[in-house]
Amino acid sequence: MSTSSPPISARPLAAWSDGQPPSGPWALRGALLWAEAAPTGCSADLSTCPTGVHQHEDGLLVIEGDKIIEAGPAEALLAARPGLPVDDRRGALLVPGFVDTHVHAPQIDVTASFGAQLLDWLERYTFPTEAGFADEGRAAADSAAFLDLLLAAGTTTAMAFATVHPHTSAHLFAGAEARGLQLLTGPVWMDQHGPPALMVPPAQSAAATAALIEAWQGRGRAKVVLTPRFVPSCTREALATCAAMAAAHPDLHIQSHVAENRAEVAWVAALFPEARSYLEVYARHGLLRPGAVYAHCIYLDQADWRLMAETGATAAFCPSSNLFLGSGLFDLAAARAAGARVGLGSDVGGGTSLSALRTLGDAYKVLNLQGQALHPAEGLHLATLGGAEALGLPCTGSFRAGDTADVVALSPGPNPLLRRRWGLRSSPLDHFFALMTLGDEANTAAVWAAGQQRVGAPPTP
């Protein structure tokens, strides 16, 4: 890929020095890689894209307002649009903004805490940290820090846990709106097996969620999520109240955890001996449906996977967290065989990075340990369009005409090994595999959310 040839028909406008694009159509130029469907025909030859995925070593992405107009080879599109203002990013790889289907907004300061598996982790680190969000000033500041870190990693859509405090969700929504991000979140429900500071009666959690629906649902890119933390933290009354609220709001997203850790699975079996499995507890309460996302799904059997597929629920694959907390290995092949939906989750703070690249690198290793190879086209799809489709979010995760203009420019950055590896071949798909093996947040050169540049230096007029 050439990085030194001059731009063709490039006419950066003075307003771009302030980060504001032109009022009419304009374009990003660079290597392009995006998925329009789940990839098929994946092979070891990374110079050839599988069906459903597109790549251009020299491509053009035409944007107007907050929408993608078209994407394709640069020379042809520039010839068809003489005088089009162009932000020349040759030398970088342009991909759709990443979609994180499971992350904990209040847990950025829990990341890299030593010496615990899931249940000890919650007691020792997670619950004390989240209790501190009772201070609204801290909730506002830490929510802003989380959103800035999310953007710096190239993530433009996220389904995030907040805390039990309604003001945390409100600050997250307001901050996401200011940054152009698509955010799905809501107050956490928990009324047992936790510290008193985090215990909230189900009726109070329902009222807080209802108030957020009134204030934020359908406003811009915000979506309120019904968020029972996990089965052990919710009494039967809480689960029943969740079920009633879910039934009353069929378009509402749901998020929780399932079958992450062996001790957790055994605990749920003791709490609900009448249920065949952990997952079935949610099914009995009407909490499995399209738009419902369950993180981890490590200890599911074939019947569970069939239930996930039949109900349209989504599994959030969180490889970094599963490795760090010693939870186990997610079986992507079993999920695929059942026809279940799967998205990628960083699961910070159990996860060790908000970067989809780092998370995909861990996913590759987790699957390789089980004799499964994660092709970079599959990884790209999982972290972009696949996650958006699993969440039921149209116009997200791709470069199709009409999609929201969420774009990440990735570069080899300061890593000398990655720079050397990048220079060996010119295929965008090969570069993406190098990034998902060796890359992280440092490789985010620029980010556009809803058509506005949010990270990185603007063009120089």
Question: How much is the average pLDDT of 281-297?
Answer: 97
pLDDT value, residue 353? 97
- pLDDT, tens digit (0-9, with 9 covering 90-100), for 101-139: 999 999 999 999 998 898 888 889 999 999 999 999 999
pLDDT of residue 120: 87
* Whether residue 329 is found in the same domain as residue 416: no
Structural domain of 229:
98-354
Of the candidate ranges 8-12, 172-176, 249-253, the one whose mean pLDDT is the lowest? 8-12
User: Which CATH number goes with the domain that contains 232?
Assistant: 3.20.20.140
pLDDT digits (tens, 9 = 90+) for 342-351: 999 999 999 9
Whether 374 maps to a domain, the answer reads: no
Statement to judge: residues 330 and 441 lie in one domain: no
- Is 83 inside a domain boundary? yes
The pLDDT of residue 121: 84
Output the pLDDT for position 20. Answer: 67
Same domain, 310 and 434: no
Q: How many domains does the chain have?
A: 2
* Region 286-291 average pLDDT: 97
Residues 75 and 218 in one domain: no
**Do both 195 and 61 map to the same domain?**
no
Q: What is the pLDDT of residue 12?
A: 37
- Residue 411 scores a pLDDT above 90: yes
Q: Are both 102 and 143 inside the same structural domain?
A: yes
Q: Which of 318, 339, 354 is the last residue of a domain?
A: 354
Between CA 293 and CA 257 the distance in angstroms is 8
161 with 240, same domain: the answer is: yes
* CA atoms within 13 A of residue 55's CA, in its CB half-sphere: 20
Helix ranges, 319-415 (H): 319-324, 332-338, 356-368, 376-383, 385-390
Whether 250 has a pLDDT exceeding 50, the answer reads yes
Are 63 and 114 part of one and the same domain?
no
Residue 16 has pLDDT above 70, yes or no: no
Note whether residue 6 is domain-resident: no
Per the CB < 8 A criterion, the answer to whether 364 and 436 are in contact is yes
- The verdict on 90 and 134 lying in the same domain is no
**Residue by residue, what is the 3-state secondary structure of 373-399?**
CCCHHHHHHHHCHHHHHHCCCCCCCCC
The residue type found at 108 is: I
Pairing mode, strands 182-185 and 222-228: parallel
Q: Tell me, yes or no, whether 368 lies in a domain.
A: no
Q: Both 244 and 158 in a single domain?
A: yes
Residue 171 and residue 59 share a domain? no
CATH of the domain at 39: 2.30.40.10
Residues 317 and 292 in one domain: yes
